[in-house]
Structure 1
Amino acid sequence: RLFVTSGVVHKSRMTVEDCYELGKIAYSDADYYHTELWMAQALSQLDEGEESPIDKVTVMDYLSYAIYQQGELDRALELTKRMLKLDPNHHRANGNLKYFEFQLEKQRKAEDEKKEEDKKRVLDKRDAQRERSKDPLPERKKYEMLCRGEGIKLTPRRQSRLFCRYSNNNRHPRLLLAPVKQEDEWDRPWIVRYHEIISDSEIETVKEMAKPRLRRATISNPITGVLETAPYRISKSAWLSGYEHSTIERINQRIEDVTGLEMDTAEELQVANYGVGGQYEPHFDFGRKDEPDAFKELGTGNRIATWLFYMSDVSAGGATVFPDVGAAVWPKKGTAVFWYNLFASGEGDYSTRHAACPVLVGNKWVSNKWIHERGQEFRRPCALSEVE
């Protein structure tokens, strides 16, 4: 089987048993999306004539249930009918056939009712964006395509508006004689990359300070607010304060100089390490309106912007991707990317939903600074328009 990542072609051969076992592991974790992928691959190889002690009915039993769990009743029903042609007395398949037919009819009635309701209301742009984000499958496909180096590309017209420049951030005193190298990565949302923004010696200092503290990364539960591990964020992280070392203090000052934003209210520098398979699936950095207490304990408001250092190159995988707009930023040691999570009005920019692609070959080191609203009142004044 061939797969391509970031221009690199990899080749390996997996048997029906290999695919089947991987599918069972995903099934035991209730990961029905990947159960479907592996069981479908096993079934495809059986259909091609590959000999195996695993029979088609066994594979289709797992596959039809995984498809049903993802809400695709039509496909689950067709697969169940195919199972019964091979084994008419299959007890579970006969029961599922009646159940799927009943649920399909119920679903069709519900869809008809929903269509009628949709005609009576018009969603604004933000609501439509939120509705799309609730459907995990299309986003998942875009996410995986972008991680493979595929997906949406900028039109020539939009591409022509992206530039590289030397920036001194409106003649900042520390940048007048040493302006930074700034490159536009994407236009909407505006994502910029800074080249040669952190030195190798600074990177080594940050890594050495972080290594003894690295622990499995956690997320904040949107309902309880409790920090917990999650299967969609696989990495280790540590936090470093400016008062601990002059290098960290210097890095924080550099971010302030380049962005023009106040660092006193920003979070500490977070260092993250992703091994092979390490990833962070699509998420927002800012707190949405349905989680008003997301950063209440900090007392510094929402996360207005994100600064992300790349502290290593990655042989394959590891990109930062924005599925909603199709942007993909690939790791390059010594660079950093920056974007605003909130519009100047304070409203969240839902197009900044992003993800860290799985590392396929190598080891990925990054560090990030989450910058908050408090202290930015005069540095980034509020706008009157909701989406400016």
Structure 2
Amino acid sequence: MQKGTSHRRSENMWQPKKYAWRNLQKLADKVDELRQQLPTYEDLSGSVSALLRLQDVYKLDTTELAHGSVGGVPSSQLSAWDCFELGRLSYNEEDFYHTIMWMEEALEKVRHGDPEWYEDNMASIIDYLAFAQYKQGNVRRALQLTNEMLELAPDHERARSNKLYYERVLHDDTDSKKRGEDGEITNKRQLDEYRSGEEYMTYEALCRGENLKKYKHKDRLFCRYRTNDHPLLFLSPAKEEVLYFNPYIAMFHDVISDKEIKMLKTLATPKLGRATVHNPKTGKLETAAYRVSKSCWLSEYDSPDIGMINAKIAAMTGLNMETAEELQIANYGIGGQYEPHYDFARKEENAFKDLGTGNRIATLMYYISDVQAGGATVFPYLGLKVFPKKAAALFWYNLYKNGEGIYDTRHAACPVLVGSKWVSNKWIHERGQEFHRPCGLFEEE
């Protein structure tokens, strides 16, 4: 009897340990689950890239950004630590242009008593800032900062070494700007060959809303109700606003309902993933830094309502949807963009050969949200800019009637400055359009 009692007592002794182990295991699993939701370094660097992109494209003032004004829209203020991190990550990318701007801002905040930082941290800021100034050609300013740093950290070996180096450069170099005799501090934006070119500069200017080119036929543009002799448009004609004649670009207003928009967003949200582009050499899809958005594809199998949306596109455009691609939903967050590109495949590319439906003859893009600031669709070669308007659809032809690409349709999605931009794209292909958009009488047409 005592032996049995002892056995039960031994079992009872192990019960708390067993439960404790189970609780620990549950806790560990929960920690692992939460860890998957934490931002990664890639998330951090992506956020920094987005902010710097906005700063460049929209020419935003660093001090205004740090004090919580994004293009005039109130936002959260940045601490000295935030500014320092922006500068540090720029430095790691050898982007000394942004390093100087954000380290200067961090230094200013520390000097004016940012409560989150202490004076001890000034040495770290000055260390980054001094070298960035040197890399931008401001040797005298780099020396001044290094001397300031040595007052804070007299035993800093790298600063002492840099001081001697800067003094030697100033002594040997006769360049007045590097010597700083005129007091000028230069900090030029570092751009590659493409981003310093005319197209990219035009793209950024259009995103800011600047008027660059005069359209000689602007006085002939018009609006009209369009039926295309299609039953769907008899009772509710499409409100067409012609924006450009050659190439033909038009905006259709109020062509998708709030109910349809809600349906598209609801279906798309769980499917969204990083948007990809066609590699022109391999024909494969891959992510790219010049396209920052999330996207997915929806078909009539996802909802019969998508069939009705496709039918309305066919009615508005007068084109056949049987060979068109599925409906793409794209979401651009703050800083989301798509730099200048063509929707059609050029002759040297093999982007759509596997589909067997020919090239993309036309594009229709629904705007399924408004955007507080930024996010315009721009055509750099035409000087045309179109700002998002919820429930409207932008339409243009990508190909001439002879099948040649219309290179003036090169376009871009400007970075979203404030808010979130949702669009829905429908890319329409050549096959099946023989009787809807027939070839012209002349080859060059």
CA drift at 1:61: 4.0
1:227 paired to 2:285: yes
1:60 paired to 2:121: no
Task: Give SS of 1:282's match.
Answer: strand
Task: Give SS of 1:244's match.
Answer: coil
CA drift at 1:88: 7.3
Q: How many residues matched?
A: 325
Partner of 2:307: 249
Q: Distance in 2 between matches of 1:44 and 1:349?
A: 46
Q: Distance in 2 between matches of 1:90 and 1:15?
A: 31
Describe the superposition over 1:89-135 as per-residue Cα deviations: whole angstroms up to 9, x where unpaired: 259989xx9xxxxxxxxxxxxxxxxxxxxxxxxxxxxxxxxxxxx83
- Going from structure 1 to structure 2, the CA distance change for 1:37 and 1:380 (only over 3 Å counts) comes to farther
More moved, 14-23 vs 363-372: 14-23
Describe the superposition over 1:333-355 as per-residue Cα deviations: whole angstroms up to 9, x where unpaired: 11100011111111111111111
1:25 paired to 2:89: yes
Partner of 2:72: 9
Structure 2 gaps of 5+ residues are 1-60, 112-121, 145-162, 174-192
Task: Give SS of 2:324's match.
Answer: coil
- Going from structure 1 to structure 2, the CA distance change for 1:342 and 1:315 (only over 3 Å counts) comes to same
Task: Give SS of 1:267's match.
Answer: coil
CA drift at 1:174: 2.9
Describe the superposition over 1:225-274 as per-residue Cα deviations: whole angstroms up to 9, x where unpaired: 22222122111111111243221000001111111111000000001111
1:148 paired to 2:208: yes
Describe the superposition over 1:146-173 as per-residue Cα deviations: whole angstroms up to 9, x where unpaired: 1111142544x4321111111112x233
Q: Distance in 2 between matches of 1:93 and 1:322?
A: 47
1:89 paired to 2:165: yes
- Going from structure 1 to structure 2, the CA distance change for 1:305 and 1:16 (only over 3 Å counts) comes to same
Q: Which amino acid aligns with 1:58?
A: F
Partner of 1:370: 427
Contact 2:239–2:253 (Cα < 8 Å) also in 1: yes
Q: Which amino acid aligns with 1:371?
A: I
1:196 paired to 2:259: no
Q: Distance in 1 between matches of 2:169 and 2:279?
A: 38
1:271 paired to 2:344: no
Q: Which amino acid aligns with 2:274?
A: R
CA drift at 1:83: 7.6
CA drift at 1:176: 2.8
Contact 2:133–2:139 (Cα < 8 Å) also in 1: no
Name the TM-score, length of structure 2 as normaliser. Answer: 0.64
Q: Percent identity?
A: 52
Structure 1 gaps of 5+ residues are 65-78, 98-133
Task: Give SS of 1:333's match.
Answer: coil
Partner of 1:130: none
Q: Distance in 2 between matches of 1:284 and 1:93?
A: 48
Partner of 1:184: 242
Task: Let me know the Cα RMSD of the aligned residues.
Answer: 3.4
Task: Give SS of 1:365's match.
Answer: strand
- Going from structure 1 to structure 2, the CA distance change for 1:54 and 1:287 (only over 3 Å counts) comes to same
Partner of 1:318: 375
